[in-house]
Structure 1
Amino acid sequence: MAQNVESGQREDAVHTGPGSPSSASRADLHLHTTHSDGALTPYELVKKANEAGLAAIAITDHDNVGALDEAMEWGRSLGVEVVPGLELSVALGEKDVHILAYFFDHRHQTLLEYLAFFRRESLKRAERIVEKLKRINVRISMESVLEQAGIGSVGRPHIANALLDGGMIDSYHEAFEKYIGTGGPAFEKKYQVDPEEAFKLVNSAGGLSFLAHPGKYTTELELSQLIKLGLDGIEVVHPSHDERRQEYYRSVVNQYFLLESGGSDFHGGKKNDDQALGVFTIPMHIVETMRSRLFS
């Protein structure tokens, strides 16, 4: 493989903004709702995608498919295709790597059982973090964390927001830097499966597995390992990938006969979210290529 390089955007992969003539033939396949760490409900997100002129979206909540039925219903009503999506955490050595799953049966029993188990483990992890915080005299209640999570899977972002609302920190990022980030006094490792197990899980539900935003953390060797284990594709288009990085990952896709994906990683409450939605997109023909791979 070629060496990692700093990256960027190209016209074929990223369109210039909502409302452009080509926007109705584009898709954003990386979006989050209130069912994980997003700020918008499934309806609000589909409506926003429609207003951005998108033809298709994938809701990829963390370890949760609870948004999909509602989103698909609103998608049919508003004329936006909603692709079943999911973002899973896997362990690659000591790293936490994210896998995006697409086009799976979101009612598949084995998948649902795994996600239910993972949510239980996430709750236990959150409880351990809250206890560790109390030991260093940083006091928040588990109830305040669950209030932040709402209907979504509980995670560190909800703990950070509870700390912020409780006046324990001055900024969201301070929670990770000072307390709950890797190496922090209240850090707890997340329950994870290995990549091969995750790929088999997604495959058993009829879906495809993609490496999410590899430019953030994945080395050339790690990417090669994931490809050998059965990775179907790579998220080429992402706000963290500039044009040169996109071209690098696209060359890997072509070299290994993988699939390409892309999206804004929209959460609805993060800096620059509104600037990313409708901008970090892929052409619909790429979505059709993904779909056709399942039936080839």
Structure 2
Amino acid sequence: MTRELPSPADLHTHSTISDGTQSPRELVIAAAEAGIGTLALTDHDSTAGWEEASEAALDVGIALIPGMELSTRHGHRSVHLLAYLVDPENRALVDETARIRESRLTRAETIVESLSADFAITWEDVRAQARPGSTLGRPHIADALVAKGIAADRTEAFNDMLHPARGYVFPHYAPDPATAVALVRAAGGVAVLAHPATTGRSGMLSESSICELVDAGLFGLEIDHRENTTEGKVLLRSYARRYGLAATGSSDFHGAGKPNLLGENTTPSPVVQRIIAAADGWTPVSP
């Protein structure tokens, strides 16, 4: 039996390693100040912030569940997968995430080149918005658009210039969700589908697709998330009951990059314990 980690638990947050606005240490300190007992760091396709976040968690006395948010693609739809407690040195996972990050970087450069034909923005403007070690992507382009006065904030940038309908943006490489779930499981981790109902039933994966993910080893569904619709949450809870999936809740905190607040949604302690018991790739950091 694993020792119970302190509550409340916020299992989806981002640092400057991906598209958050706080360093891993700053994020952990902010979580402690917000009263979070257990925090998961889940930067996009990267484990680079684990060491700094782990040291900070021990310093401030909260628990840390190292993880990542893995990019996947189902047809034209971007699907994100929260991967907890994976082995960060698993060769297949390391190679796949490196391929995703490289594709995202190449895409970002091409997006900026396209935008520069119509807006006063350069690649140097985008690089200025990221800290060393960060994987440059659309959020940094959005920040550059804001810094240049072209957009009022990230939300406007994503709803306008960085919306696919404007023609500047195109997808980056990502594996299909079932392959990603199997990859996470092979790396000793636990896979939870991130915010699967942001556009309600019409934009969700079909039940048959959910079944494929269950067969591949899917552990849970992130249900309590501010962007999941009410209708979508009801359907997700029915899937969780039907297929024995865990139901998690998280803030998806990005610092100043989004309005999400630390701890606005949390995961019950028994579910946290199930995640820890199901993983053998890494162990939580506990005070």
Query: Hey, what does 1:227 align to over in structure 2?
Result: 214
Is the Cα–Cα contact under 8 Å of residues 185 and 217 in structure 2 kept in the other structure?
no
Q: 1:248 to 1:163 in 2, by over 3 A?
A: same
Q: Does 1:88 align with 2:70?
A: yes
Secondary structure, aligned partner of 2:17: coil
Q: 1:24 to 1:103 in 2, by over 3 A?
A: closer
Is the Cα–Cα contact under 8 Å of residues 224 and 248 in structure 2 kept in the other structure?
yes
Structure 2 Cα separation of the partners of residues 187 and 72 of structure 1:
35
Is the Cα–Cα contact under 8 Å of residues 263 and 282 in structure 1 kept in the other structure?
yes
Q: CA deviation at 1:228?
A: 4.0
Equivalent of residue 55 in structure 2, options 73, 77, 85: 73
Q: CA deviation at 1:33?
A: 0.5
Structure 1 Cα separation of the partners of residues 121 and 164 of structure 2:
20
Q: 1:291 to 1:171 in 2, by over 3 A?
A: closer
Structure 1 Cα separation of the partners of residues 264 and 106 of structure 2:
38
**Mapping of residues 190-269 of structure 1, within 5 Å:** 190-216=172-198, 217-221=203-207, 222-241=209-228, 246=233, 248-269=235-256
Q: 1:161 to 1:289 in 2, by over 3 A?
A: same
Deviations 1:216-268 (A, max 9, x none): 14144343443344322111221224777545433322221222322111111
Structure 2 Cα separation of the partners of residues 180 and 160 of structure 1:
8
Secondary structure, aligned partner of 1:143: helix
Structure 1 Cα separation of the partners of residues 98 and 229 of structure 2:
36
Secondary structure, aligned partner of 1:277: coil
Secondary structure, aligned partner of 2:128: helix
| AA of the residue aligned to 1:277 | L
Is the Cα–Cα contact under 8 Å of residues 180 and 188 in structure 1 kept in the other structure?
no
Query: Hey, what does 1:165 align to over in structure 2?
Result: 147
Number of residue pairs aligned between Structure 1 and Structure 2:
270
Is the Cα–Cα contact under 8 Å of residues 9 and 266 in structure 2 kept in the other structure?
yes
| AA of the residue aligned to 1:197 | T
Secondary structure, aligned partner of 1:101: strand
Q: CA deviation at 1:27?
A: 0.5
Query: Hey, what does 1:55 align to over in structure 2?
Result: 37
Query: Hey, what does 2:119 align to over in structure 1?
Result: 138
Q: 1:241 to 1:117 in 2, by over 3 A?
A: closer
Q: CA deviation at 1:140?
A: 1.3
TM-score by length of 2: 0.85
Is the Cα–Cα contact under 8 Å of residues 113 and 122 in structure 2 kept in the other structure?
no
Q: CA deviation at 1:64?
A: 1.4
* Identity score, percent: 38
Is the Cα–Cα contact under 8 Å of residues 116 and 122 in structure 2 kept in the other structure?
no
Q: 1:255 to 1:43 in 2, by over 3 A?
A: same
Q: CA deviation at 1:26?
A: 1.8
Q: CA deviation at 1:139?
A: 3.0
Q: 1:170 to 1:159 in 2, by over 3 A?
A: same
Is the Cα–Cα contact under 8 Å of residues 197 and 229 in structure 2 kept in the other structure?
no
Query: Hey, what does 2:92 align to over in structure 1?
Result: 110
Secondary structure, aligned partner of 2:166: coil
Query: Hey, what does 2:284 align to over in structure 1?
Result: none
Q: CA deviation at 1:142?
A: 0.8
Structure 1 Cα separation of the partners of residues 33 and 152 of structure 2:
34
Deviations 1:165-211 (A, max 9, x none): 12333443333333321122211212111112211221221101111
Is the Cα–Cα contact under 8 Å of residues 100 and 172 in structure 2 kept in the other structure?
no
Q: CA deviation at 1:34?
A: 0.7
Query: Hey, what does 2:283 align to over in structure 1?
Result: none
Query: Hey, what does 1:281 align to over in structure 2?
Result: 266
TM-score by length of 1: 0.83
Structure 1 Cα separation of the partners of residues 204 and 230 of structure 2:
17
Secondary structure, aligned partner of 1:281: coil
Q: CA deviation at 1:31?
A: 0.5
